[in-house]
Structure 1
Amino acid sequence: MNKYKLKLRKLMGNEKGLTLVELLAVIVILGIIAAIAIPAIGGIISNAQDDAKQANEDLLINAARLMVASQDNEKASYTDKELADKGYLEAELKGYKGTVTINEDNGKYTYKVDLEEKSDDEDEEG
């Protein structure tokens, strides 16, 4: 058995590093992993942005409900800045500008939210 090990060591003794074929195989495998991972990460980011928008809509509706419950509503539409100024939001929305419209029909209230992404200029100002 030792005889075969010695022959194998002699044959492999000068070999250092990877062969070109091994290197290409590693590059192909990394390419396949990247091709799978990049679209998945894009989907995760898109879902997070959609969830953030939905959370901001819910936040505006809840602030408007608080205002209606405290009988502080003087008009039918409020921006996130106005809700923050009146104390129904901690601060204006980050990254969005929102408007909530309040409709009353025989004591039943409905709320409609319009959210737009702020441009970079608007975000720096507010």
Structure 2
Amino acid sequence: MKKMRKLLKNEKGLTLVELLAVIVILAIVAAIAVPAIGNIIENSRYNAVKADATNVLSAAQLYFTDEASATTVTVQQLKTSNYLESSGKILDTVSIAKGKPNTITTSAIKFSGDKTVTFTAASMEKINADITKGSDIKTGQEIK
């Protein structure tokens, strides 16, 4: 009998209460982390579209330097002339206007779900000055 009691007292493992406490703690951490990760993803997608626009503007600047008489250039022309490898989400039909500074105008570009960004005569400086977060945009964002 003494041997049996000794064996029962030496049992190791988790009780049901301890297991439930761990599950509750993990659920609380997940409830906090999931929305934060979603916001980070939306911000990254928004910043990626802005980076696409700045890449197109940089390629257009090189094009206008080589082709001094040109006043506009399309993304397709930049790709064909090997000034731009990829335009990301910027459509090939988008036109860049030569000026001081060069500007880009696009239709609405979807970056996450139903969220869009539109560039209206946006220069490199205006795009870089935009501090809006993608997760804060409700229906659409315009950079002009």
TM-score after normalising by structure 2: 0.59
Matched, 1:102 2:102: no
Report how many residues are paired: 104
Specify whether residues 73 and 17 from structure 1 end up closer, same or farther in structure 2 by C-alpha distance, changes over 3 A only: farther
1:13 Cα offset (Å): 1.9
The answer to whether structure 1 residue 68 and structure 2 residue 64 are counterparts is yes
Larger RCO: Structure 1 or Structure 2 (Cα < 8 Å, ≥ 6 residues apart)? Answer: 2
Alignment of 1:2-81 (within 5 A): 10=6, 13=9, 15-71=11-67, 74=70, 76-79=72-75, 81=76
Q: Is the 8 A contact 1:100 1:113 kept in 2?
A: yes
> Which blocks of at least 5 consecutive residues in structure 1 are unaligned?
1-8, 119-126
Is 1:87 equivalent to 2:87 in the alignment? no
Query: What percentage of aligned pairs have identical amino acids?
Result: 39
Computing the radius of gyration from Cα coordinates, the structure with the larger value is: 1
Distance 1:58 1:49, change over 3 A: same
State the partner residue of 2:120: none
| Structure 2 gap ranges (5+) | 112-144
TM-score, structure 1 as length reference: 0.66
Q: Quote how far apart the aligned CAs of 1:100 are.
A: 3.5
